[in-house]
Structure 1
Amino acid sequence: MQKASKISVIVTTYNRPDALAAVVEALFAQDDRNFEIIIADDGSSNNTRNCVEELQKRTPVPLLHVWQEDLGFRAARVRNLGTLAASGDYIVFLDGDCIPGRNFVSQHRKLARPGFLVSGSRVLLSPDYTRRLLDQHLDLNGLGWLQRLRLRLAGHFNKFLQTVLVLPDLGRERKRFSWRRIKSCNLAVWRRDLELVNGFDQSFLGWGHEDSDLVVRLFNAGVLRKDGAFATEVYHLWHKENQRDQESSNRAVVLKRAEDRTVQAVTGLRDIDPQEARALA
């Protein structure tokens, strides 16, 4: 069975350098070092650029930074930009406020299988614990099971078992499209499959369902889903909800594409000038 020879972790971010630093520090501590990090920046200010430059001085793996102008919420496009800058054959999308466990890369590598994507899982953190973690630079991955249980009982984690158990790669395949657990904050896709469907669709306006759209188009192209729960959990730092003005219309587009068996993005990977995907100097 083909294995991913190199993994590219694409971390999307926008004007939250403290969270981004916590995420990248956790990537530095991975038990699998055969990967690269691409910071896909949706128009952040110089504070984020300065943060990335400091991280680049001590990174143990290749760390690149791509940036696009701030023209509103354009997560689909910046993920495509990161994909074009990546050199790996297997792409893992991770949000810049989702802290991975130490085995995040190695678990995604174990679950990688041709013909499948992996839709990962997350643990939500409370506002109070998020503030403490960032202010005090707490090490989530250094917590023991009893500390994790206490955090769950205190309401600072919304899950417990997923933070202490890793289940084998059995029964994870999903034979039909489902909205359940589609989160581009933790999503792994073979690069060739992304290229097949023209990547994320940049025609989606506002927040919502550009990740579901990608998954349904991949499904229409013959790529099935695997569930990454109890294997690839990330810790999602609390933040205010994004505006969801376009959510209903975006969902309607996805449902229509599922019905029509749409495969190609209207505007996607092939519509970005490759020169734009060069890393910042």
Structure 2
Amino acid sequence: MPVHEESFAPGTPCWADVMVDDLDRARAFYGSLFGWTFQDLPPEAGGYVMARKDGHVVAGAMAKNPDDPGQVSAWTVYLATDDVEATVERAREAGGVFFLGPMDVLQVGRIAVGADPAGAAYGLWQAKEHTGTDLVDEPGSLCWAESMSRSYEASKTFYADVFGYRLQEIGEGGFQYSVATLEGDTPIGGIGAIPAAAPADVPSHWMTYFAVADADAAADRVTALGGTVMQPPFDTPYGRMALVAGPQGETFSVMQLPAQPAAD
């Protein structure tokens, strides 16, 4: 089981949380879909809850602020950093904006949330007691994240300049997509151009992927639980995946990872 309890390398997607109108409804949906259990945090956490899978923290959830009509139901991807202030400064110099933080989150870490020059929202996480997800690439846990952009070249430049992404173009057939690595050769995320066939009102965004044992069964389960299948399961060289939305409209993807060869 890929347990990941140490800190993530700066620039790595390390956490994801969802903001919705009805937190109880989200708990029921994701609990049934992924087998998550939920841990209520102290009152000073503002109603934030931690989702756990097999005892490991894997994601967060919170209710919208009723006094902020601009909030939307959505998943947010957080990128690891060793220094929130320095990263925010680099991001601003590269054309990014911020609408939250930098600020401390209790004793567990330091946060900022903003958007890249293409308008895709993301968060920054400087770990203290909480390093991020403790489980990766297992059913019910984070397995991939990507920035899908209306300004592909600008997004590539931004993430390379701010986080040091090394980008390898793998797109084909008119689809533009780059895989990001850091110091080594292990992919940590992706940057893609929103396809021309996508509806015009789809904005630049970060997409969160959760691993599942069976993409087709997960898509059926989403529908049964009141969600929506936005793009039915399809095969890729990296696994079988589907784009879905929860009952409150928040989009995410599920991915059935390829079977790994048995160790000798």
Q: Same fold (TM over 0.5)?
A: no
Q: TM-score, normalised by structure 1?
A: 0.27
Structure 2-normalised TM-score?
A: 0.29
Higher strand share: 2
Higher relative contact order (CA 8 A, sep 6+): 1
Specify which structure has the higher proportion of helix.
1
